[in-house]
Chain A
Amino acid sequence: MISRATPVLAITGLKHGYGHKPILTGVEIELNEGAHHLLLGPSGSGKTTLIHAISGLLEPDDGSVVIDGEAMTGRSPAARDALRRSKIGLIFQSLRLVSALTVRENLHLAGRLSGHPTTDAAIDALLAQVGLGHRCSAKPRHLSQGEAQRAAISRALIGKPRLLIADEPTSALDDENADRVASLLIETADRNGSTLLVATHDQRLKKLIPRTVTLLSQSIAVP
């Protein structure tokens, strides 16, 4: 008998809508450990709704989401918070860092919240890996867009998540920075052993992450 590894993300029959308008209509996705996928789809196709459902930020109308063998759906909000803390790292287009904290303090806070408190030295080393060794003490408002996104990647990885989800991480960046951030995402996810799912409509990323999941508007996802 051949044993199959537990997928890091398994979505079955996921449905969700707002009012009478269906957004997700039976999504089926399975991502294995260490895989990299692009989640493609036009605006309004439900990419963000799907990410929220995967990360437990909303409870879908129907279907199940299982993260590394643990069901995200059907849990209390507090239990979803706990599962998200321990298994998922999230990166957004503009929601990157807590404004009142320095880059280093942001990583400390993320580490503590995820149950992986870490030292200044480890954080500084992580920031050095993403080219921000010299910006540890800077406040987010003093960072460039590219620097802030790289800092957000470090922040998302500090808790060593099993699943790293990035929502439009490169949309606001120029080509050079977009390439740099995408390469960094892949590199750091690989180093960490995290499965990577990047939701985007940025076609530039296809050359770096060829495997795609496409969401068509109000239709089932096709792996």
Chain B
Amino acid sequence: MIRLALAYLRDRPLMSALNILLLALAVATLVMLLSVSTQIGNRFERDARGIDLVVGAKGSPLQLILSSIYQMDIPTGNIPLESIALLRQDPSVRQVIPLTMGDNFRGFRIVGTEPAYLGLQNAKLAQGRMFAKAQEVVIGTRVADELGMTLGQRFVGSHGLTDDENAGHHEQSPFTTVGILAPTGSVMDRLIISNVESAWDIHGIDHDNLEDEVLHKGEHEHGQEDTDHSETVDHHDKDDASVSLTEREQMKPEITALLVSYKSAFGAVRIPSMINRQTNMQAAVPAVETARLLSLLGVGIDGARSFAWLLAATGGLSIFVALLAAASAREADLALLRVMGASRAQVFGTIIAEGLLISAIGAIAGLLLGHGALALAHANFEQLRDFGFDPFVMLPGEGGILLAVLGIGLLATLIPALRVFCVNLAESLARSS
């Protein structure tokens, strides 16, 4: 009966193709929406792991979160170095990780931080060692793959967060790659990570006197990982000629943001309001901002999803109309099948099989189309690549979509099939023969 159903599909190629196309478009849209929304949600959740609060310059809290955690936007500005000590001394704070940003190498952001930052994503070194002094970097796996970088490779960073040929280069302070991270599936895969002093050095900011007393103050009380700067080279040999002594004296070491995790829930109650009310900085809660962003995205996604289900229902309706018309047009065929000895159930099954075949082919074609379109988007949109989006990842929800589309197909075939099942064969033969 499956072969017969296939033969009927082949016998009406245009109608079959249109029905399949309708369902395929619906499934492709649903698969794309599911994949994008799920991967965005997962990625946001994964990248924000272990971060309860982000402290940065006043501005948009969402921008602060996007720039500091997801490396997707421009930072809101810089904050004083003393803010590190302020938070590290707080008894309800477990960990404070400083970030400096503002430079890139061929579009990959260079982030100044501490080794503890890598611990947020359980990043492990695949090759080499951790950075130990200024101008040493550990690079993410995508940076290494896309730029073909290897251990020991030296490179010069550029101003700004995106690749711009006109941007100034820090040729006086080249970086050296000392480690390559194993893949983490997180934002770290596309970062070049160094210590915070590197950022100050390449911008000619004097920090030697401040390091111990400000930068690392409070670390030992809270069991923070100690960063050994004993081997820090004297970067004053490489002063930026374009920066005058007066300017240098005016430029104080700053940081871009702080990633904070609490030791106790009390911190969540007290610290954000303390930062927002009593300092010139802002505190943003990743969970809140991410939820707000996903909610904003969700409106569009929900609208598109409703449209896709409408498309699927239209596909089902089209199958229903086609099979209802076919059941009438094929009355003679179906009567002949019964004459040849096919049971009612077999004839009923032929109609059901035809509807299910259209649905199954449409669903599988839609699945392939959806992932193909995602792959095309991935190849053409840098943002998706930066986001670590995988166009070929199969989600459990896709199985649900396939089953739902098969259900629509089954529902659409039931009435035509039941009409065939209930037909009076003798009367049908009288009309047909």
Contact = CB atoms under 8 A, between A and B. Distances in A.
Contact of A98 (B10, B333, B433): B333
Interface of B: 3-4, 7-8, 10-11, 330, 332-333, 335-344, 425-426, 429-430, 432-433
Most chain A CB neighbours (cut-off 10 Å) among B11, B343, B433? B433
A110 B337 CA distance: 8
Contact of A57 (B10, B11, B333, B339): B339
- Top 8 nearest A-B pairs (CB, nearest first) are A85-B341, A100-B11, A92-B433, A100-B7, A95-B433, A113-B341, A58-B426, A100-B8
A48 B336 contact: no
Nearest to A156: B340
Contacts of A86: 341
Contacts of A97: 336
Contacts of B432: 92, 94-95
Interface in A79-112: 81-82, 84-86, 90, 92-101, 105, 109-110
A68 interface: no
A197 B75 CA distance: 93
A122 interface: no
Given A78-B343, A100-B10, A95 B330 contact: no
A77 B332 CA distance: 19
A114 interface: yes
Nearest to A85: B341
Contact of A94 (B8, B337, B433): B433
A82 B333 CA distance: 19
Interface of A: 48-49, 52, 55, 57-58, 77-78, 81-82, 84-86, 90, 92-101, 105, 109-110, 113-114, 139, 155, 159, 167-168
Contacts of A94: 332, 432-433
B426 A52 contact: yes
11 contacts: A52-B429, A57-B339, A57-B425, A84-B341, A90-B340, A95-B332, A98-B333, A99-B330, A100-B10, A109-B3, A113-B337
A85 B338 CA distance: 9
Given A97-B336, A98-B336, 5 more contacts: A57-B339, A77-B344, A95-B332, A98-B7, A99-B330
Most chain A CB neighbours (cut-off 10 Å) among B4, B333, B338, B429? B429
A77 B8 CA distance: 26
B337 A81 contact: no
A214 B8 CA distance: 41
